[in-house]
Structure formats: structure tokens, C-alpha cells
A and B are shown apart, each in its own frame.
Chain A
Amino acid sequence: MRFDQARSMRLSMSWLHTWSGLVLGWLLFAIFVTGTLSFFRNEITFWMQPELHRVKTNGLALSRAQEILEQEAADSPMWIITLPGARNPTLGLAWRADAPRPVAKTTHSRRGGEARGENYGNRHEGGEGRPQFEKNNASASAAGNTTSSRPGMKRLTLDPATGEALTARETAGGDFLYRFHFELYGLEPGWGRWIVGIATMFMLVAIVSGVIVHRNIFKDFFTFRTGKGKRSWLDAHNASSVFSLPFHLIITFSGLLLLGNLLLPSAVQSAFQGDSRAYMQSVRGGNTPVTPPSGERAPLTDLSALLAFTEQVWNGQPIGSITVNHPGDRRATVELRAANMDSLMGGRGAARILRFDGVSGQTLDMPAVAPPSIVQSVWNIQVMLHRGFFASPVPRWLLFLAGVGGSLMIATGLVMWSIARAKAREKLSFGHRLVDVLNVAGIAGLLIAIGAHFWANRLIPADLAHRGDWEIKVFFIAWSASCIHALLRKRKTAWIEQLVCAGALIAALPILNALTGGLSLPGSVEQGRWLLAGFDICALAIGGGLLFAAHKVMLHTPKFRVTKAASAIDTESKLSFPDFAQLQTEEPA
């Protein structure tokens, strides 16, 4: 295809789709996979702390929690107690060690400090660290002792039945994958997000151009021709893209919006004259303002009584967290937050809240929060979907499956490019060889790295200092090893060996889990710990799938048919450009 000759829109878009997908495809695969796993980052973190697996939730030692907080955190301006729930059976305490400061998303220096150094492995938070409504979904389990995990917040994990403190191994948990997803790792603050942002724009262009190219989106909706080489890969690529198309569009676009302030700072500069602090505060304008402390001491009311009252009023709806503002002060307030969110439109603050006076225990009226504007609702819906802020497991699993579909979309696209241009016995061009190596290392290699990361979590001794950092190092060492392996081996053997390695590592995780002190699969099913069981079951499924794929690759014998028409196209340019339009319109035999 040549740009100076007459060409159809579809052909231009086909070119654009191929290149925008190919150039950063391996990075996009990594972003998609780690992002999909991040929907369950709390559960992953829990799996990675086997010391906590056997916590029983019959009982709630809230008064003990209150005692501990009154001892340890008497001068703290804010306490947060995360109640045990489906996502985490432990009782989590967190408190601010110093006065609250506005948390700006764009404070890059702080991000940089977190992303590296000893703090990283030790830190364990449910999100960007804002101790707000996110804690509904956040895991409160952390490094078991009260070492400071990040500037300002101290944490403690309790057994909900007995109230005794639990110690679990230090690990970044699912948060490593989560942070990798949007800021990669180890790069200068802001650079990682910039790279991810650029990749996201490439992804958006690839998706939209792909939709334009796919002429028969309805006619070919169920077409899946098996055993036909290029066409089968094309069908697989189409299927995985089209079936979850709304999801892919929303995730990609909302990803851009989430990084929007970094990518296009001119908007904030223009509207707020460069005052990004004012922008942050305006964005959070819908939140309940906290009344400043009076300075007079007064004992905090019994939290268990407030909890019982709320449970009665909300008729059994699960309560996610209790936030105490200025405990011990006369103007203390207590907020109880529902675990579930009713709708996506209200954004993070949409969970039901019941507010009490901290000293008398009387309910307080919530200050009226303006309903979100249309623009804000649109933003909220997209961002809530992207971040998977649901409490119910069904939407979360559906998002996860859509994410798997998206990862398959990218993987099939990358492999298809390589296969479509494969020729027997002809020396591969540099570009083709590069793509082949990147495919193996980027797809199978990433999965090996993830498997190795979880293996490291169990095999590295629990009391080793900075073991969280070591788990991450193992991730990158494994990935590098797979890159080198991919360079040294031929394409087919590289694929088989790496897929087998990844499949074996991941499928063996449930066994590793049982052998290294975690709650085994039969045990977690028996006790109804479904999210823990889910990790093991998914590991089996994904590992099994990878081994099955390796098997298929092993059996595959490529058939090269160079037709006259195809060879005519090839002579034009080095990297030839098969016309996918022709491939698509063929009827199945």
C-alpha cells in the first residue's frame, strides 16, 4: 500500500491499525494483563500473605480495636477502621500520624519517593493512598507491625474474632501489578505514566481504526474458522476484540482521562491559571468537609453501639468502614460507610454514609452534596468502570473476563502479524525477527515473570528484610531471562518452551500455596473463602490454558502457500502488507 496512490479509507485504516498496534503492542499487552489482574489486587495481596489465610470471622472485636486505637493513635486526627468483608476477612486499622495535608495527584516527587526505595515493598495501600472512600474496597492488611508504610499513615491488622494483632509477611502484593499497570516501575516519576499514556493513545487509535477496518462486524460476528492458519488467527483477533468492544473503548478512553492532567496540563493551566492545588480541591468539592477540631478533649463514644445502630437502620446492608475524625476531641465525628456502591454515577463518594457525633453518638445530618453534573457523571461512570469500583463480585469478574479478552486481542493481533508474513526458508527481515522475539518475550515472557513473582512470594523467607523488593526483582529477572531466551532460540521452540514454563509456574501455584502455609484450595472452598479459592482456580485455568497452547504450537506444522497475487504484493516493499479485507470476506468452507 502506498500513500501517494489512490486508496480506500479501509486500506489506510488497515495500515494505521497494524502499525499503531504493532509498535507498542508488547507494552500494551503488559499494561492490559497487569490491569486485568489489578481488578483483584486486594485478593492477590491477601493470597500473598498466607499468614492471614486462616483468619476466622466469627465475631467482631471492635471494642478491642477502639482500645488499641485510643492507645496508639490518641493524637491522630483521623482513624479508619476497615471492617472484615468478602474481599478481606481481617480487621484493618489505619490512622494518620500527622496533620492531614492535601493529597495532590500530581505531586511527582512524592510518587517518586514511593515508587522506589525501601518504602515500596513495605507499603501497602488500597489505592493512591488517599484515606477516603476507597477504603471500602481496599485491603487493610499490611506489614504486620506498626512501621510507617507511607508518609502519614500507620496501619495494623487485627484478627476480627480475637482482636489480636496479626503479622504477615511484607509484600507489595497486588499493588505492584497495579502500579506497574499505570506507571511501570523504577522510572523517574511521571515518565512511566507518560509512556503508559502514549501507549494508551496508540491503543485508542488501534481500536478505532480496527473497527473501521472490520467492515462486516455483524455478518462476521460469530465467524470463527478453525484450523485455517491466518484466517483462524484473524477470527480469534476479531472475536476477542468485538465481543468486549464497549469495554475496550471505555477502558482505553478512561485511561486517557485518568492520566489526562499529566498528558494535557494545558487544560488545568488555562482554567485555573496554573493553580493545580485549586483544581484538586475543586475536584473533591463534593466531599464532606471536616470540621476543624475544637482543642477540647472528650471521650469517644462506643463505636460498637454506632455499628449496631447502623446495621439496624441499613437493614443488613454490609458496612465497609468506620472513619473517625478528630477522635478524642469534642467535635469528633464518626462516619460509617456502606461496603457497596449503588451506582457508578456518583463517583467515589457514592456509598451510603451515616454520620454521628463522636462524643454523644447522635446521628448528624449529612451536609447536602450536590448531585454530580452531567460532565462529572460521564467522567465518574467511565472512571469507576476502569477502576472496577464495585463491591459485588459479578461485575468485577465480568470486567476481569473482558480484560482477559482484551489481552487476547492484543496477543492474537501480534502473533497474527508475524504469521501473516511468515515464509518458508526465507531469511527473516530484521523487523520481522524483532517482532517475533518481542512477541515471545512480551507475551509468554510476561506470564513467566508473573508466575515467578508469585513463586518468589512464597519461597523468599517471610522475615527477610525488604522481601517485597526482592519479589519485584524476581519479576524483572524472570522477564529479562525470557527476553534472552527468546533471542537465542528459534521462534517455534521459543514459544513452546516459554509457554510450558509459564503454564507450569502458574498452574502449580495452588500446590505451592498449600505447601507454603496458605489455605489450600479444598480448604478455601470448604470455608467459603471464594476469593481466595478464585485465585487458585484462575491459576489452574490460566496455567492449563497456557500448557494447552504450548501443546497446540508443538503439533502445528506451518503450511506456506505463496500465491501469485501474494508474491506480487511482496515485491513492493520489504514489510509486505496483506490485504485483510480479502481474508475477511471469505465464507467458511
Chain B
Amino acid sequence: MKTCFEWFAALERHPRLNPGLRVLMAILGGYGVAWLGAAALTGLPSASKSDAVTLAMMLTFLLYLVNVLWIFATATLLRAALGLAIPAALFGGWLHFAT
């Protein structure tokens, strides 16, 4: 357990890996969350199906932006990862149970 923590701490301190991981999380992870989000948000109430798609796309791009900002602004890598995992779980759950 202790070495696990140490390993994570070393990861955080690494001057290249820390931002590097955040970049990967932002680009790939963020895209994954956006993918799920776009699908899930079409479930929001709207006038027509194409409106649902448009609304979903608009909201998703905004959420992706906020996601990216979060990943870089937040203090630790763990929080950054949570910033991906929680929306992914929410959207994934919505998709799974609502459709």
C-alpha cells in the first residue's frame, strides 16, 4: 500500500509525466466522455429529434471544454481523473438505463 502511494506521488512529481498524463486525459479521456455525453444528452427534451441532436452537440462541446479546463486546473492527477470518471459514469449510466 505504501509503495503504491509512493509510486503515485512520484508520478505527480515528475515534471514531464504529470502534464503529459493530463494532456492524454484531456484529449482521449475527454473525447470519450464527450462521446458518451453526446449520446446521452440527446435524451433531453426538445422539439424534434434533429433539435435533440443539435442541443446535445452544443452542450457536449461546452462540457468537453469545461472538462479540459478542469483537468489542467485541478490540483492532483487523481482529481483530474475523477473529473473524467464521474461524468463518464453518469453519462454511461444514463445511456444504459434510459435507452
Q: Which residues of A contact B (CB under 8 A)?
A: 2-4, 6, 9, 12-13, 15-16, 19, 201, 204-205, 208-209, 212, 253, 256-257, 260-261, 264, 266-272, 279, 282-283, 285, 373, 375-376, 378-379, 573
Contacts and interface: CB of A to CB of B under 8 A. Distances in A.
A12 B26 CA distance: 14
Contacts of A267: 38-39, 41-42, 53, 56-57, 60
Name B's interface SS. helix
B13 interface: yes
B50 interface: yes
Contact of B68 (A205, A264, A271, A373): A205
Given A3-B19, A279-B53, A270 B38 contact: yes
Residue with the highest number of chain A CB atoms closer than 10 Å, among B18, B39, B95: B39
Interface in B28-57: 34-36, 38-43, 46-57
| Interface band, chain B | 35 or more
A317 to B, nearest CB: 31
B76 to A, nearest CB: 8
Contacts of B69: 13, 16, 205, 208-209, 212
Name A's interface SS. helix
Given A375-B46, A379-B54, A12 B65 contact: no
Given A13-B69, A205-B68, A375-B47, A271 B58 contact: no
A373 B60 contact: no
A282 B49 contact: yes
B65 A205 contact: yes
Nearest to A272: B49
9 contacts: A6-B75, A209-B69, A257-B61, A266-B38, A267-B57, A271-B42, A271-B53, A282-B48, A376-B51
Given A2-B18, A253-B61, A269-B39, 13 more contacts: A13-B73, A19-B23, A201-B65, A266-B35, A270-B95, A271-B52, A282-B50, A373-B51, A375-B46, A375-B55, A379-B54, A379-B58, A573-B15
B69 to A, nearest CB: 7
B60 A3 contact: no
Residue with the highest number of chain A CB atoms closer than 10 Å, among B60, B64, B72: B72
Contacts of B55: 375
A141 B16 CA distance: 55
Contact of B65 (A208, A272, A279): A208
Contacts of B99: 270
B52 A13 contact: no
Contacts of A261: 53, 57
Contacts of B64: 201
A376 B39 CA distance: 19
B73 A271 contact: no
A15 B72 CA distance: 9
Contact of A13 (B18, B43, B72, B75): B72
Given A253-B61, A267-B53, A376-B54, A285 B73 contact: no
Contact of A257 (B13, B58, B72): B58
B58 A4 contact: no
Contacts of A204: 61, 65
Contacts of A4: 12-13, 18
B34 A264 contact: yes
B61 to A, nearest CB: 5
A525 to B, nearest CB: 44
A109 to B, nearest CB: 23
Residue with the highest number of chain B CB atoms closer than 10 Å, among A4, A208, A272: A4
A264 B60 contact: yes
A4 B20 CA distance: 12
Contacts of B40: 270
B63 to A, nearest CB: 11
B53 A268 contact: yes
Nearest to A208: B65
B7 to A, nearest CB: 14
B56 to A, nearest CB: 5
The 5 lowest CB-CB distance pairs between A and B, nearest first, are A270-B39, A282-B50, A267-B38, A266-B39, A373-B47
A45 to B, nearest CB: 31
Given A9-B73, A271-B42, A266 B18 contact: no
A27 to B, nearest CB: 16
Contact of A256 (B51, B61, B72): B61
A271 B40 CA distance: 9
A272 B53 CA distance: 9
A285 B51 CA distance: 11
Contacts of B39: 266-267, 269-270
Nearest to A373: B47
Given A208-B69, A266-B35, A270-B38, A373 B18 contact: no
Contacts of B23: 19
Residue with the highest number of chain B CB atoms closer than 10 Å, among A16, A269, A283: A16
A256 to B, nearest CB: 5
Contact of A260 (B19, B49, B57): B57
Given A2-B15, A267-B39, A373 B48 contact: yes
A15 B65 CA distance: 16
Contacts of A15: 19, 72
B24 to A, nearest CB: 13
A254 to B, nearest CB: 10
Residue with the highest number of chain B CB atoms closer than 10 Å, among A3, A6, A257, A269: A3
